[in-house]
Structure 1
Amino acid sequence: MKNFEKYSRAYFMPPVSSMKWSEKEYITEAPIWCSVDLRDGNQALVVPMSLEEKLEYFQLLVKSGFKEIEVGFPAASETEYAFLRTLIEQSLIPDDVTIQVLTQSREHIIRKTFESLQGVKKAVVHLYNSTSVAQREQVFKRSNDEIIGIAVTGAKLLKKYAGETEGDFKFQYSPESFTGTEMEFALDICNRVLDVWQPTEDQKVIINLPATVSFSMPHVYASQIEYMSDHLKFRDNVILSVHPHNDRGTGVADAELGMLAGAERVEGTLFGNGERTGNVDIVTLALNMFSHGVDPKLNFENIPEIISVYEPLTKMKVNERHPYGGELVFTAFSGSHQDAIAKGMKWREEKECQYWTVPYLMIDPKDIGREYEGDIIRINSQSGKGGIGYVLEQKYGLQLPQEMRESFGYSVKNVSDRLHKELKPDDIYDIFKKEYVNITAPIEFINYKFVQHDTYQTAVTIRINSEIQEFESGGNGRLDAISHGLQTNLGLHYRNLIYKEHALEIGSGSQAVSYVGITSQEGAVYWGCGIDVDIMTSSVKALFSAVNKMIVIVPLSIENAPSTGGSNN
């Protein structure tokens, strides 16, 4: 590409090596989660939420288990102010939830922020100012000491107004654009703020280190976080927080490595909504932990329900491939993937496995409210016999023999390929019924009766070309007797009769299903299925279905077959 020379690495490595985080394998406990959907997320919407919509969204966050929720920038607009006052005056904030409000380091804004908090039981007041080289030089045109002065002044004002306002207030400071700031300067300004606040074990403060713009690979951010964690004053009384954005598509990785590096708190949004490419996605972060056997301490047991609220309120769409929440993220179209999933699910049922190890599925979709039917295996022209058979078994209770699955799989794939579309379970079932079940042409089975049960002597009534005919035959068993009669009386030729039956337990528990496969003289295998309340009748219907499929493919002159009237074979 052209012009790559104009870009440089706009981040700063720590002055000392900070790589202890790389020795850790995974995150062992949930962080403090803070949702910033109603502030950072809302300000990024094309149409920000109304007061009523924000109230509904707040309830969604509470229901999802968030204990810290940033509700806005109350001094910035009347809507933000009114929203906060509504939460307080209508007692909508649960006792175990702490709201958070954002403020710049300007006295009139800080004063109005605390006015908006009148009557609140507890809140985090979040102070920020930009610290990056680009912001200092290009936007504020201030020296390092002047930028520190802004932060320190704001810290003092927070103490002043908190002392004059009833309520339990915790302070938070963010060196905004932290990732574009020299690490020594970021450390200095945070420590100067901490000197003002003097945190204690009973009154901890939050230092939040945002990747306001993501400049580096995730391991660099982790090293920056670790450096700050190792060198902050009052470290035992500081809650270290991260707030990654997703400019490089690494927001989740930044947060995960940041937690390994010492962060105890994460600010983010549901499904990553936020400025530009968005904030870190807390749904993905939390469920990544869940997939490692760690309780994320959030209630994401019904992701579809959360999406059903999230999308109308934000007017945003959760992408089909979005981790965990996307419509297609648990779906396999590929034949080999479908086969592996189907076998893995069967294995799990048979072995009563303690741990989830199904191929291609990172977690059990049911744990987050997704359904196996229609979610895991979906059928198109790329699908295979395993997936198609799985769909029939899961939804309709049909347990096709392995050999029959292959035959039917080609039929389904051909239909999908011809129509250029995905086939729904009902489509697949309709194809199966049409091509395999109780086929009555050109030979229609009417009934049968056993003349001599001890020798399986059988009389069978059929209809060919509107003509009723009857024949008798014997064999080694009931189905063998009828099959023998079909061959000898109608001049049919096939061998290797394959047979399987089972009760149809899903949908209509009293019915029986039988499958019959036969091999023609040319070596082709033809399958039929019979469904009936009587197991023997279903077997006979399956045999006739297979024979009729063979006759259609390899036409036989059955109208010229030997007379069947009362013959005994």
Structure 2
Amino acid sequence: MLNYKRYKRVPVVDYPERQWPNNEIKEAPIWCSVDLRDGNQALIEPMVVEEKVEMFNLLVKLGFKEIEIGFPAASQIEFDFLRQLVERKLIPDDVVIQVLTQCREHLIRRTFQALEGVKKAVVHIYNSTSTLQRDVVFHKNMEEIKQIAVDGTKMVQECMKDYDGQVILEYSPESFTGTELEYALEVCTAVQETWGATADNKIIINLPATVEMTTPNVYADQIEWMHRHFKNRDCIILSVHPHNDRGTGIAATELALLAGADRVEGTLFGNGERTGNIDILNIAYNMFSQGIDPKLNIEDIKNISEVYERCTKMNIDPRHPYAGKLVFTAFSGSHQDAINKGMQALRERGSQIWEVPYLPIDPSDIGREYEPIVRINSQSGKGGVAFVMDTFYGFKLPKGMHKEFADVIQKISEKQGEVSPEQIMDEFKKCYLEQKEPLHFKKCQITDTETESGEFATLAKVLYTENGVEKSFEGIGNGPIDAVQRGMEEALGINIKVLDYSEHALTSGSGAQAASYIHLMDKNTGKTTYGVGISSSVTRSSIRGIFSGVNRLLY
């Protein structure tokens, strides 16, 4: 039995005056990518300089205006990467790079050496403030921990005297979620006042969920409490940096935005320590799905995924939101049917608003394709097979035909698993379009005639083969289909009824083909089936459909 008594519950925040539950996200925050620092340090095989350059260029292309590029004082590789960006002039004028450093004098000085030549940078200092780390890691009291943050701020100010560029200070009380709120506010305020933040020279206060410790609503309470208790709030850019230890990092971030956060730090696809950082793309696409401009260029998720996987050597899970290979795929028959009907309704109504069951966004808007939306296996149903035939091949099967053909595919899928669209089409040809034995339609002549009573009628003269032997018949009816049916009944000694008929164009243009669907019944047995024919002539396609149906029904 799990020894759950080893763990204590993290207390919630007593904050009944919370306002965030009634708020809505209406605009994108300031995005800051930490792929090249937090993400990179969590890789089994960290990126080499050229891989980091490729990742940096991708982040710039995506529209990130703030990019944390590393911890330049931590290693020579980190230092050299920053120097590469400067010397190769890879930092656009509208992009601010961010560098991380602990509140230690030699590390801060080394950081400023790496920054030489950078016009504008965020210098991100941090120290842990949580009750646990104060006790077991630093063995310092509250005043001593606060002094580390204040001293780090003063060191940055001292190094700025010999620095030509502009510096924005960011301070993070690491392990904020494990820190008493009043104390976290005290430390952040001390840094704010030491820095001398103003409305024109704002400080970034970053409140990380370094370890996700409880439910997202508690994090939102913590953010709103800080947001409403900061002195001179207009002098602060309130940033969040959630991790995903409990699997609720996305929710925690979105609730933090409701609670007053201005800025979000995260990575592409959530790469990061342990269960990862929050996935900025996930949040941005969530906003996009609600009609909000995410302020990032994320129209091509396939290219983003390819660069990410190449540089990080990490694989994106097939169920990862928006980016996974299977997230726009439906195996369930009821889902497939609903998607099919939703897509048809969208086309028929000509609506500019995307509303399709089970698809929160149009996959094509982010560089995905319709082709993999529906995949057929033993769990699929008639709607999925019909969707494949329509979407891939343009055959709009009559509703009554959905089950008949789906039963054919079901038997195949039970034996082999997933059935590809190509195999579905091959079976359709075999079952319907190529049903030419024993009866094979060759050609026909349709002319107007009169019945014995003098009424207008249609005369059909049909040439066909039966078991390879060429034969012909004539029939008179109220139209081509009726005339062919009557002629076949008399020539073959059968008793059939046309229950339904439909047709549509398969392609557009001068060479367009028509597809005709004939629903037939053997009046002697009550058995029914469909026949399908295609031709550039609607009349020929319908006659081929009758022959296809008779072959299926009787032979």
Instruction: Please indicate the TM-score interval, normalised by the length of the shorter structure.
Output: over 0.9
Q: Distance in 2 between matches of 1:273 and 1:295?
A: 24
Q: Distance in 2 between matches of 1:135 and 1:323?
A: 34
What is the SS of the residue equivalent to 1:483? helix
Q: 2:308 aligned to 307, 310, 318, which one?
A: 310
Q: Distance in 2 between matches of 1:211 and 1:191?
A: 19
Q: 2:547 aligned to 544, 547, 556, which one?
A: 544
Alignment match, 1:191: 189
Alignment match, 2:500: 498
What is the SS of the residue equivalent to 2:477? coil
Alignment match, 1:220: 218
Alignment match, 2:4: 4
Residue 428, structure 1, aligned to residue 427, structure 2: no
Structure 1 residues 234, 164: closer, same or farther in 2, change over 3 A?
Answer: farther
Paired residues of 1:68 and 1:99 also in contact (CA < 8 A): yes
TM-aligned CA deviation for residue 472 of structure 1: 2.4
Larger deviation, residues 339-348 vs 199-208: 339-348
Alignment of 1:47-126 (within 5 A): 47-126=45-124
Q: 1:486 aligned to 463, 483, 488, which one?
A: 488
Q: Distance in 2 between matches of 1:510 and 1:13?
A: 67
Alignment of 1:254-273 (within 5 A): 254-273=252-271
Paired residues of 1:18 and 1:224 also in contact (CA < 8 A): no
Q: Distance in 1 between matches of 2:249 and 2:362?
A: 24
TM-score by length of 1: 0.93
Alignment match, 1:179: 177
Structure 1 residues 405, 147: closer, same or farther in 2, change over 3 A?
Answer: same
Alignment match, 1:527: 530
Alignment match, 2:453: none
Alignment match, 2:19: 20
TM-aligned CA deviation for residue 14 of structure 1: 4.5
Q: Cα deviations across residues 462-502 of structure 1 (Å, max 9, x unaligned)?
A: 22223222222222222222211211111122213422222
Alignment match, 2:413: 416
User: Match of 1:350, as an amino acid?
Assistant: E
Alignment match, 1:378: 375
Count residues in correspondence: 548
User: Match of 1:471, as an amino acid?
Assistant: F
TM-aligned CA deviation for residue 439 of structure 1: 1.4
Paired residues of 2:150 and 2:191 also in contact (CA < 8 A): yes
User: Match of 1:539, as an amino acid?
Assistant: S
Paired residues of 2:244 and 2:278 also in contact (CA < 8 A): yes
User: Match of 1:391, as an amino acid?
Assistant: V
Q: Distance in 1 between matches of 2:252 and 2:162?
A: 38
TM-score by length of 2: 0.95
Q: Distance in 2 between matches of 1:2 and 1:513?
A: 63
Structure 1 residues 285, 291: closer, same or farther in 2, change over 3 A?
Answer: same
User: Match of 1:409, as an amino acid?
Assistant: A
Alignment match, 2:328: 330
TM-aligned CA deviation for residue 118 of structure 1: 0.2
Alignment match, 1:353: 351
TM-aligned CA deviation for residue 334 of structure 1: 1.4
Alignment match, 1:556: none
Structure 2 alignment gaps of length 5 or more: 451-456
Paired residues of 1:338 and 1:386 also in contact (CA < 8 A): yes
Q: Distance in 2 between matches of 1:508 and 1:269?
A: 52
Structure 1 residues 457, 357: closer, same or farther in 2, change over 3 A?
Answer: closer
TM-aligned CA deviation for residue 506 of structure 1: 6.7
Paired residues of 1:457 and 1:472 also in contact (CA < 8 A): yes
TM-aligned CA deviation for residue 116 of structure 1: 0.2
TM-aligned CA deviation for residue 18 of structure 1: 5.0
Alignment match, 1:239: 237
Q: Distance in 2 between matches of 1:393 and 1:436?
A: 16
User: Match of 2:181, as an amino acid?
Assistant: M
Q: Distance in 2 between matches of 1:200 and 1:526?
A: 79
User: Match of 1:531, as an amino acid?
Assistant: I
Q: Distance in 1 between matches of 2:491 and 2:42?
A: 79
User: Match of 2:530, as an amino acid?
Assistant: W
What is the SS of the residue equivalent to 1:404? helix
Structure 1 residues 246, 508: closer, same or farther in 2, change over 3 A?
Answer: farther
Q: Distance in 2 between matches of 1:5 and 1:290?
A: 43
What is the SS of the residue equivalent to 1:479? helix
What is the SS of the residue equivalent to 2:444? strand
Q: Cα deviations across residues 493-531 of structure 1 (Å, max 9, x unaligned)?
A: 221342222221179952222111101232222111112
Q: 1:285 aligned to 270, 283, 286, which one?
A: 283
User: Match of 2:426, as an amino acid?
Assistant: D
What is the SS of the residue equivalent to 1:523? coil
Q: Distance in 2 between matches of 1:179 and 1:509?
A: 68
User: Match of 1:425, as an amino acid?
Assistant: P
User: Match of 1:456, as an amino acid?
Assistant: T
Structure 1 residues 526, 13: closer, same or farther in 2, change over 3 A?
Answer: closer
Alignment match, 1:397: 394
Structure 1 residues 87, 453: closer, same or farther in 2, change over 3 A?
Answer: farther
Q: Distance in 2 between matches of 1:531 and 1:213?
A: 63
Q: Distance in 2 between matches of 1:477 and 1:318?
A: 59
Paired residues of 1:72 and 1:80 also in contact (CA < 8 A): yes
What is the SS of the residue equivalent to 1:498? strand
Q: Distance in 2 between matches of 1:270 and 1:507?
A: 45
Q: 1:341 aligned to 339, 348, 352, which one?
A: 339
Q: Distance in 2 between matches of 1:399 and 1:53?
A: 48
Alignment match, 2:37: 39
Alignment match, 2:360: 362
Percentage identity across aligned positions?
A: 54
Q: Cα deviations across residues 326-359 of structure 1 (Å, max 9, x unaligned)?
A: 1111222212112212211222222232432221
Paired residues of 1:438 and 1:531 also in contact (CA < 8 A): no
Residue 463, structure 1, aligned to residue 461, structure 2: no
Paired residues of 2:511 and 2:536 also in contact (CA < 8 A): no
Q: Distance in 2 between matches of 1:380 and 1:453?
A: 51
What is the SS of the residue equivalent to 2:164? coil
TM-aligned CA deviation for residue 132 of structure 1: 0.9
What is the SS of the residue equivalent to 1:118? coil
Residue 440, structure 1, aligned to residue 443, structure 2: no
Structure 1 residues 416, 509: closer, same or farther in 2, change over 3 A?
Answer: farther
Q: Distance in 2 between matches of 1:250 and 1:18?
A: 24
Q: Distance in 2 between matches of 1:409 and 1:483?
A: 27
What is the SS of the residue equivalent to 1:9? coil
User: Match of 1:4, as an amino acid?
Assistant: Y
Structure 1 residues 398, 104: closer, same or farther in 2, change over 3 A?
Answer: same
User: Match of 2:362, as an amino acid?
Assistant: D
User: Match of 1:443, as an amino acid?
Assistant: L
Paired residues of 1:397 and 1:506 also in contact (CA < 8 A): no
Q: Cα RMSD between the aligned structures?
A: 1.7
Paired residues of 2:28 and 2:295 also in contact (CA < 8 A): yes
Q: Distance in 2 between matches of 1:224 and 1:202?
A: 26
Paired residues of 2:15 and 2:221 also in contact (CA < 8 A): no
Alignment match, 1:561: none
